[in-house]
Amino acid sequence: MTTDRRGADPGSGRRALTGVQLLHDPLLNKGTAFSEAERDALGLRGLLPPRRLRIEDQLVRVRRHFSVLTTDIDRYTYITSLQDRNETLFYRMVIDHLVELMPIIYTPTVGEACRTFGHIFRRPRGLYISIEDRGRIREVFGNWPQRPVSVIVVTDGERILGLGDLGAYGMGIPIGKLSLYTACAGIHPAECLPIVLDVGTNNETLLTDPLYTGCYQQRTRGKEYDEFIEEFVTAVEEVFPQVLLQWEDFATDNALHLLERYRNRLCTFNDDVQGTAAVVLAALLTACRVSERPVTEQRIMFLGAGASAVGVAGLIASAMERRGLSDAEARSRIWLVDSRGLVVAARTDLAEHKLPFAHDHPGATTLLEAVEAVRPTALIGLSTQPNTFNKEVLGVMTSYNQQPIVFALSNPTSRAECTAAEAYEFTEGAALFASGSPFAPLEFGGRLRTPSQANNAFIFPGLGLGVVLAKAARVTESMFHTAAEALAESVPGDSLVSGALLPPLEAIREVSARIAARVAREAVAEGLSDVVLPEDVEGWVRERMYDPSYNDTV
């Protein structure tokens, strides 16, 4: 993986840029940091102010502009505009201030950005492949200027976070995810390709929005949709044969169907199904470590039964099996609650993906009734229904659990099942808590509590880096177990005292390197990689991680 692509890039087939064209290329532009020799050799003399500034000086200017902005959406617009001008400076800023900026470039602010994406649109990034491009998707790929491409993140915009169908406005999600691949795991930004598949939208607000940037039509469904996706995947295989393809924010039926259809055909995974599962499993393993109650003895209830919930449930069941339970025993310890109540075998309205967790048990129509009947030790929210983990529900859990596990994972913050403060208050400070959106540390019961954000960024960048560096042919379930275990093992012992179930965000690049090394070893062990790994795999990984800095080219 390269760390500097200035001037001519032999692997890309692009000619060396000079003058204004160079200044307008965000991958190559250094702005006022170009040296005297570069200004002469690259036709920049007179196009820039005479004084050369270091990247540290540029960061001061960026920080000053950023600090005066008063809303998160304005901060998002500003920082992504910087990404469009100078990616090296953008990533230096993000990496140096990751705790502050991750909620801006991704969850929760990216949700607000997607809702108004056409209104804040400045410059195109990534590929828009619409249903109107059928029959020529391979040709569209030919318009992408960068080679090689290591990672593609693709969405069809139907289920953006907890906000629903945002159509082509969903492009903010692949852009944000790939920014995290670079910031958190060091995959070079030139090797990242965001894609939105525009098959229409059923969001009437967008269809009457004069600034909407997508196709004005209802969503394509059925056979036509499947054929469109097949053409897309075939084109990916032909044009980018070694790429890692990540599916993102597809509706439940399509997410599960496409993952099952393509997981054994190319190197691919679904982050909502598998990445979410791995980070939640990691937090659960840490909670088990704190409570001294192994995962095989937990009884876990999910509020929500979509793709994410079923993906998490499946990986937890698999983790229980890896620790000695049978498949039936593992599944018997996992329960789902959907919009119609407890998922039980007697119900006749269950979608196929819910059936493995439909138990022979009396029904319950509310979450409170389900908790009272099943008596779970862990309650995991992936419902996008706010205020559902209320005082009554968590009070019942606390009545029979010394340390109830409470994960309110729905995004954005407005959709969270409860806040961190509510989780601690309703359980009298006993909860082992994690959330989907970030919550600030708080004092409760005379102790500082540090709520952990079960952010997929703890998993997918490191896993992706391991897959890319190992040139793995497939992404397997074992890799997600390996990543989850590496993540759980990365939580420092002193962090557990304040309630943290995941490592501090400041350590994410180190954690990603550890996960990547483990995943690379797993790929080799499973016979999915021919790469010969050195003895110090973590060191080998770190050497290949992109670190944004300027290097003089002449």
Residue for token pair 């109540």: 341
Catalytic residue among 76, 106, 128, 212: 106
Catalytic: 177? yes
pLDDT at 13: 42
411 pLDDT tier (thresholds 50, 70, 90) = confident
Inter-residue contact 163 to 114 (CB < 8 Å): yes
Percentage of the chain modeled with pLDDT above 70: 97
Confidence at residue 143, expressed as pLDDT on a 0 to 100 scale: 97
User: Edge to edge, what strands does the sheet with 244-247 contain?
Assistant: 127-130, 192-198, 151-155, 244-247, 268-270
pLDDT of residue 553: 75
- Beta-bridged to residue 444, according to DSSP, are 447
What domains are there in the chain, each with its CATH number? 1-53 (1.20.1370.30), 70-266 (3.40.50.10380), 271-554 (3.40.50.720)
Residue of 384, 383, 459, 452 whose CA lies nearest to 423: 452
pLDDT at 16: 82
* pLDDT of 484 higher than 80: yes
What pTM does this model have? Answer: 0.94
Give 15's pLDDT tier (boundaries 50, 70, 90).
low
What's the pLDDT score for residue 551?
86
- Give the pLDDT of residue 544: 98
Token reading at 4: 């500097």
The three state secondary structure string of 377-392 is: CEEEECCCCCCCCCHH
Cβ neighbours, 10 Å, residue 362: 9
pLDDT average, residue stretch 135-145: 97
pLDDT of residue 412: 80
Residue 554: C-alpha distances to residues 26, 39, 40, 355 (Å): 19, 9, 9, 63
Closest CA to 369 of 454, 293, 303, 299: 303
For 164-194, b where at least 16 C-beta lie within 10 A, e where not — what string?
Answer: ebbbbbbbbbbbbbbbbbbbbbbbbbbbbbb
The pLDDT of residue 386 is 95
Active-site option among 30, 177, 546, 550:
177
485-496 pLDDT tens trace: 999 999 998 889
Q: For residue 191, what are its two tokens?
A: 């090797």
pLDDT digits (tens, 9 = 90+) for 246-305: 999 999 999 999 999 999 999 999 999 999 999 999 999 999 999 999 999 999 999 999
> With 50 as the cut, is the pLDDT of residue 9 above it?
no
